[in-house]
Every structure is written in C-alpha cells, then in structure tokens.
Structure 1
Amino acid sequence: MSEDFKTNAEKYLYSRDQFRKLAQHKFLEFNEHSNLLIASTNELIASITLFCSGRSFREIDNGLYCADLMVSFCRSHFIASDLVLGGDLVDGAVIIRKQMELLARLNELKSGADIERLIRKTPNIKHLKSGLKRLYSEYSEVAHSASPKVMELLGRRDYESGVYTLVYPDFQENAYVSLQHLILSAFEYYVWAANFLSDNFEDYDAAYHSKLFEKSFETHNRIYTGKPISELGT
C-alpha cells in the first residue's frame, strides 16, 4: 500500500474520486449538447422543488405524502445524475428504477386511488404515462443483480490475459442510455408537477418551468434522434 495513504479505504476513495472526475470529463466531451441538457433539466427539477419550499400541503388531498415524494424525486434526480456522469451506471440504474416507482405512485394518487389500498404496496408501473414503463423490467434486473449481462455496466476491459471488471468507474457510451432514461423520468415528473401545482397553488406561474422544459426537450432531441433508446447495455 502506498505510504501516501494510511488505509486501503482512504486509497480506494481517493482513486474513485479521481476516476469519477475523469469519467465526467469524458462524458461531457462526448457530445457538445450534453452539458446544456443536464443543466436545463437540473434547473427544472430544482426550481419546482424550491417553489414548493415553505408552502403548506396540509389542505391538499394526500398533500403531505405528495410533498414527501416531490422532495424525494429531487434528491434522487441529482444523485442519479452524479452517478451516471461519473460512470457508476449500476448504482445510477437502481435510483432511476426508484424514480419510476415514485412517478407511478404520484400518478396513482392523482387518479384518486384510495391511499389506504396503496400503503405498503409497490406502485403499479402501469400508471406511468411515458415509455418508461417498458424499461422497468430491465432496471429491475440491474437492481437485483439478476444476470451477468447487466453487471457488464460496471465496465470491462479485454486483455490477452483475460477479461477484467473495472474496480473504478470509467466513461462508457451506455452512460448516454442511462442519461436519456433519467431525463425522460424528469420530463414525466415535470408534467405531473405542473398540473399538480396549477391545481393547488393560485400563484403558480407555469411559464418559467414551461420554458425550461422546452429547452430541455429541444436539447434532448439534438442528442437523441429516432426512437428512444430502450435497453441498457446495447
């Protein structure tokens, strides 16, 4: 062990941080529009959350539960974004799957479902409004470490001596698949949130969020052409 580090854990964490920074640099360098897409989508999610900050949801049906879910979505969005940019695609996928379930629960609540029948039950993915529902089984496979194929998202290197799994994260093009799915979850969340806030807060001005969404959507379409990517690892 290097004398520069007192423990192996210290060495690992330092090295991981350096590799994450390098992976993020490679990610943003790979496509000139990626930084704007991430920045505009992050601004959209953060501004929705900060509009809600300090407001009472108590008089809204299931309001406190909705407020909890909104805060959770925001926190998880930024964590997943950091993981995807830093090359930690397996860990990012677990959180994106969690976002899918959260969105399904928000849509269940909007539909007027009896909350007593929802408590302690996994949200029904059929309530997702976008194509994300088609991806849920793939993300569950990643979350459960269910096959060798999905574990390849950790990163592999082929050498004459054999095939090796990377100890530290590195950029791979699959990161752009993960990013698209993260962005699509943010888009579906925005649609839900804009309707929810318009229905419950008279002073909500949707114009700013609408402009942010349009910017994000246009930038998304500069990066992703054709049908949305549907599979991880392909």
Structure 2
Amino acid sequence: MYKSFLALVLFFTIISCSEKKSTKNFVLNGNIKGLKSGTLYLQRVEDTVLIPIDTIVINGESRFTCEFNIDSPEMFFLFLDRGVTNSLDNNIAFFAEKGTMNLETSLDFFTADVKITGSKNQELYDEYKKVTSRFIDQDLDLIQKKFKAYKANNTAEIAKIEEEQKKITKRKYLYTTNFAVNNGAHEVAPYVTLAEIYDINLTYLDTIQKSMTPKVAQSKYGKKLNEFIAERKKEGK
C-alpha cells in the first residue's frame, strides 16, 4: 500500500513538472552541437549599441534555454565567446517573437549551420537574406575585378564596373522595397527598410509605410520607421 502511495505521488509529481509553463512570453530553446564549454551572450541593439540581456554558461551540456518578456517582435543576437580563439563566426542574428523558438547549430560552423524555427518573421527574414546574398556575391565579384582594373590602371574598365555596381544596388533596393510592401503584416518589413534602404527616395518609404498593418505600425520597428520618415520629411530629404 505504501509503495502504491509513493508511486502515485511520483506520478503526479512528473505530471506537474511536465505541465509547468514559463511565465515569460518568449522562450528560446537552443542546441550547439559540439560545444562543451563556453559562454553565450544574448544581445539586443539599443541606440546603435549591442547590449547584453542574458548570459548562458555552457558546461558539458550543449542544450540551453533562456526566457524573458518582449513587447513586440525584435532582432536579437546570440554571441558565442570562444575564449582563446578569434573566429568571426560567432554571432547569430535572429528575429524573436512571442512564443517558443528553437535554434540549432554547430560549434564548427556556428552561423552557417544555424536553423531557427518558431517565428514567421524569422522565416521571412531567411527568405530575404537568401535573395540578397546573391546581390552581395555579385558585388564582391565586381570588387575583385575593380581591384585588378586599378592595378592595370584601366580607367575604362573601372568606370564600367562601377556602373554595374550601381545596377546591383538598384536591384537590391527595389527587391527590398517590394519585400517590405508585400510583407507589411509582419515586423520584418519595417526592420529591413531601416536596416537596408533607409536612404531610399521618400516616395518608396511612403509606400512601405502605407503597406504596414496597424499592428505592425505600432511595433518597435514600425514606430521607428514612422519616426524616421517624419524626420526625413521635416529635413526635406
């Protein structure tokens, strides 16, 4: 009878633990395969400066969880302190939104292997980066060609390459504008506008602004975009 009682207590204890829910509105579950020891810093941008908001110490277990409250979808950064190494592959940007998100990656290819799920804004941002990475690759190829042209003192070739670079920039700006307009119901729209095409013609910014839903317009990046556009109009730029 006593053993049955203990088994019953244990059963309800397990049930209560499994049903325990976070009191925070954002939870990040992560796993960095191969990482046995190190420190992770969760950061956000405040006044153009990265500010740590949580520190996660890894000691033997590669899985981790962090949770806190967010007011609206926001871009966060997960920085890996590798200690003695100076790798540039140490900072993952991800678009957090209320709910539970999962982040999986590896120690060897921290940013290249990352897979993030649980956020529609992140899904759209990944799509955006996939397309714009082509523009970046094209520009890098032209930079290499221009360097060779400078060495050869070939001014005609330099001028030609610079015109091609302008066309690439124009295509990127147009793609970003269309992306923002087509995704006005998501906070990623004002974010990429502010991050990538803040200096575009005001006519395009007005179009993006009008495409935002009321909810997005009241989000962190929606408010910042509205303030930015108002300031540019005030300055007549």
Q: TM-score, normalised by structure 1?
A: 0.28
Higher relative contact order (CA 8 A, sep 6+): 1
**When you count helix as a share of all residues, which structure comes out higher?**
1
Q: TM-score, normalised by structure 2?
A: 0.28
